[in-house]
């Protein structure tokens, strides 16, 4: 079983925060260019024999070295944020190694920006979410500090382990393999080790598929990724070594050392842009498409679309509802509320089931869009619609009274059962009639569980013979039908 834990240090150096304190005491607040990865002595980006050692900046034993020599910006305020940038959380509040988060997504964007300054060919950044070590919180951390201020100490806490930034190359097929390696077979304790991606890389997961085949769609800038496409990936040296259970990164070629670090990248980004805001759009979601009628994906056929990973896990903006529509105009939309209950160990927080109908004129590759208007999450997924027309299945309706002989005033119920061949759910409305009377004496909806069975209490019946029968009005899935007439004698 591959290990998902962060590799332990054989020698623990003093934290980077200690350097800031020492530098403040020494008055060494001098602005200069950040130090290179080589000057800091951090891990190289080639394939090492062992997992590289995370390296913190030098501690008080090197107080003669200025703050600038550690590559740390010489300001009390590194930048500002407009809202919390948090790591993922588990139920109960612990840090999640499997949940997408606004902070790890932001770090991926930051590292791609920093690498592209010297390596403009870089297209994608990957960050192991569990290696991000502290949140950036909007609330002030001190009496004299305004809300939203990001101090050097807070930046240092995010990257207590200072690592070189590297580049390597992956084909589209290799990139998909790396994304599949987020799941560890047989690891019940940690089923998912989440990779954060920079904004241009998005993907869809089918959580019902077996491990190794869960990534159903990968997109770069909204377009499907071809297996033979070649991408330059930015990442830290630890992840590039294959740590955290990613042998697909260890085996990648076209490797290079950028000459900067994860810590420097964050300081430099705030120096360049000053203000950061969380991106509430999800970069990976779970989608499972389930046909609700016989025949599969046919024009006019009803579907169940199970959506997950639609919510972050702390105090972020809520997705509220998931919508599903079909191209090219997406004029018809189906939606259902999103359940934001936290899901342990995976990235499935934010679940909903939506029940759309494939357009009757759809044929071949049809675009299905899944989105939230509240967070900006939007994915367009191709589905293959078969060359046939969906036909509702036949149905058979039964009505069974609780008594066929009863005194006046005796309560009587009618058990209604609507059956249909195949594995389809039976839903819709039924009405109960007495003989040839045009007006129904009772009506009911079939339950949403699809069982097609409901028990209806009949109104008081007068003395005499009553021929009770049931009419089922049909649905998208089933044709209408009616039961035989059953005599009920009241005396």
Phi, psi of 209 (to 5 degrees): -80, 160
Sign of CA dihedral 381, 387, 389, 393: negative
Q: How confident is the model at residue 391 (pLDDT cuts 50, 70, 90)?
A: confident
Among 6-10, 172-176, 421-425, name the one with the lowest average pLDDT. Answer: 6-10
- Indicate the pTM of the whole model: 0.76
> Read out DSSP for 429-486?
EEEEEETT-SS-SEEEEPPTTSB-EEEEEPPP--SEEEEEEEEE---SSB--EEPPPE
Residues 261-277: what's their mean pLDDT?
Answer: 96
Task: Evaluate the omega torsion of the peptide bond into residue 179 and state whether it is cis, within 30 degrees of 0.
Answer: no
Q: Please report the domains of the chain, with CATH numbers, ordered by start residue.
A: 16-276 (3.90.780.10), 284-385 (2.60.40), 396-490 (2.60.40.10)
The answer on pLDDT for 198 being more than 50 is: yes
CA distances from 47 to 44, 166, 198 (A): 8, 11, 23
The mean of the pLDDT values for the chain is 85
Question: Which residues, at least 6 apart from 425, have a Cβ–Cβ distance to it below 8 Å?
Answer: 292, 449, 450, 477
The answer on pLDDT for 166 being more than 50 is: yes
Residue 328: the pLDDT is 80
Q: How far apart are the first and last CA of the chain?
A: 74
The answer on pLDDT for 30 being more than 70 is: no
CB 266 within 8 A of CB 158: yes
Pairing of strands 321-326, 333-337: antiparallel
Chain Cα centroid distance, residue 304:
18
**Judging by beta carbons within 10 Å of its beta carbon (0-12, 13-18, 19+), is residue 14 exposed, middle or buried?**
middle
Q: In this predicted model, what pLDDT tens digit does every residue of 90-146 receive, in sequence order?
A: 999 999 999 999 999 999 999 999 999 999 999 999 999 999 999 999 998 776 789
Q: In this predicted model, what pLDDT tens digit does every residue of 456-471 receive, in sequence order?
A: 999 999 999 999 999 9
CA contacts within 13 A on the Cβ side of 12: 4
List beta partners, residue 85. 136
């Amino acid at each position: 079983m591959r290990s998902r834990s962060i590799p332990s240090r054989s020698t623990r150096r003093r934290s980077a925060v200690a350097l800031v304190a020492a530098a403040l005491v020494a008055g060494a607040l001098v602005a200069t260019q950040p130090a290179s990865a080589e000057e800091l002595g951090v891990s190289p980006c080639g394939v090492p024999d062992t997992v590289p050692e995370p390296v913190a900046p030098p501690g008080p034993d090197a107080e003669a070295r200025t703050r600038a020599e550690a590559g740390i910006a010489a300001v009390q305020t590194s930048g500002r944020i407009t809202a919390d940038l948090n790591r993922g959380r588990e139920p109960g509040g612990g840090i999640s190694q499997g949940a997408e988060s606004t902070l790890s997504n932001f770090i991926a964007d930051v590292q791609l920006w920093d690498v592209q300054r010297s390596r403009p060919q870089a297209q994608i950044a990957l960050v192991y979410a569990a290696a991000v070590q502290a949140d950036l919180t909007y609330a002030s951390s001190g009496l004299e500090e305004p809300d939203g201020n990001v101090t050097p100490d807070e930046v240092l806490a995010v990257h207590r382990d200072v690592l070189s930034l590297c580049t390597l190359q992956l084909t589209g097929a290799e990139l998909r393999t790396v994304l599949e390696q987020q799941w560890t077979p047989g690891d019940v304790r940690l089923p998912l080790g989440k990779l954060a991606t920079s904004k241009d890389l998005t993907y869809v997961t089918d959580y019902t598929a077996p491990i190794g085949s869960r990534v159903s769609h990968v997109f770069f800038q909204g377009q499907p990724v071809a297996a033979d496409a070649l991408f330059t990936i930015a990442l830290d040296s630890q992840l590039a070594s294959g740590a955290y259970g990613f042998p697909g990164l260890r085996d990648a070629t076209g490797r290079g050392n950028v000459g900067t670090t994860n810590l420097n990248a964050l300081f430099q980004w705030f120096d360049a842009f000053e203000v950061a805001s969380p991106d509430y759009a999800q970069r990976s979601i779970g989608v499972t498409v389930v046909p609700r009628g016989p025949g599969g994906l046919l024009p006019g056929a009803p579907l169940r679309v199970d959506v997950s990973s639609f919510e972050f896990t702390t105090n972020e903006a809520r997705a509220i509802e998931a919508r599903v529509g079909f191209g090219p105009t997406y004029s018809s939309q189906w939606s259902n509320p999103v359940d934001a209950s936290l899901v342990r160990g995976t990235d499935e927080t934010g679940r909903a089931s939506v029940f759309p109908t494939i357009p009757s004129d759809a044929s071949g590759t049809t675009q299905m869009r899944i989105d939230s208007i509240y967070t900006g999450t939007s994915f367009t997924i191709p589905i293959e619609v078969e060359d046939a027309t969906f036909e509702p299945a036949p149905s058979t309706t039964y009505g069974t009274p609780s008594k066929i002989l009863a005194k006046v005033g005796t309560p009587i119920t009618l058990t209604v059962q609507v059956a249909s061949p195949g594995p389809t759910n039976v839903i819709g409305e039924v009405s109960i009639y007495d003989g040839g009377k045009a007006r129904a004496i009772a009506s009911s909806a079939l339950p949403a569980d699809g069982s097609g069975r409901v028990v209806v209490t009949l109104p008081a019946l007068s003395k005499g013979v009553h021929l009770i029968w049931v009419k089922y009005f049909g649905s998208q899935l089933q044709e209408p039908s009616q039961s035989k007439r059953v005599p009920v004698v009241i005396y």
